[in-house]
Amino acid sequence: MGNCSCEVNCNEDNILALKEEEDQNETPPLIWKSLTPLLPNTTIKSKRLELKDIILVHLYLKNMKDFSSINSAYVTTFKHCLPARVCVETVLPEEVLFSIDCLIRQSDIKIDDGLFHPKEIPHVQNISHWAPASIGPYSQSIKVGEVMYPAGQIALIPSTMKLVSGRIQTEAPMSLSHTLKILEVLHRGTGLHHILMAHC
């Protein structure tokens, strides 16, 4: 099927914080130098796959305060064919600052039905009224065949790109509404009841 997954952890020995005003075109920080040789040489390479075949990334942070430096490094690796991404803060082992796992699918091979299933990728970049624009180096969703992989959503008001007030009581319904709208773009008639797995 051309599917596989891999996981990489990073500890504080690999971290070099970046200031937001620093030029992202400069040499990538150590945080990502540690991953660049690892990702292609793990399961990805053994399956004859490439970084461009990654369709979904789960990024787990020990502390969200590190997001800016990690995201600055992340974008230097995923410049094209951006995978969908889910990013959350969670409990990690003491020595691990962040963890990444990837879902990979080679889309240019024939599968059981004898057909090719290229990736379909919507990417909202401008402020709109139907769904929030992408706020990071990721695709809102990727569809391969009949399976869709949406990115994580937060409760941004699409027309202003500001977080809705009201905490979880209003944030959760709006986040689910964004997910539904993105799924409907890729396949009309898709509903939340079609979701097989979710991360909260």
Helix (H, G, I), strand (E, B) or coil at 51: helix
pLDDT digits (tens, 9 = 90+) for 88-123: 999 988 888 888 888 888 755 555 555 555 677 765
Is this structure's pTM higher than 0.85?
A: no
Q: Chain centroid to CA 37: how far?
A: 20
In this predicted structure, the answer to whether residue 20 has a pLDDT above a threshold of 80 is no
pLDDT at res. 112: 55
| pLDDT beyond 80 at 128 | no
pLDDT at 155 over 60: yes
Note the CATH number of domain 119-194.
3.30.1330.40
- Show the tokens assigned to 133: 């624009």
Cβ(44)–Cβ(50) under 8 Å?
yes
DSSP state of 164: P
Six token digits for residue 190:
């898709």
At the topology level, CATH places domain 3-105 in: 60s Ribosomal Protein L30; Chain: A; (3.30.1330)
Look at residues 184, 182, 155, 183 and name the one whose alpha carbon lies nearest to residue 169.
155
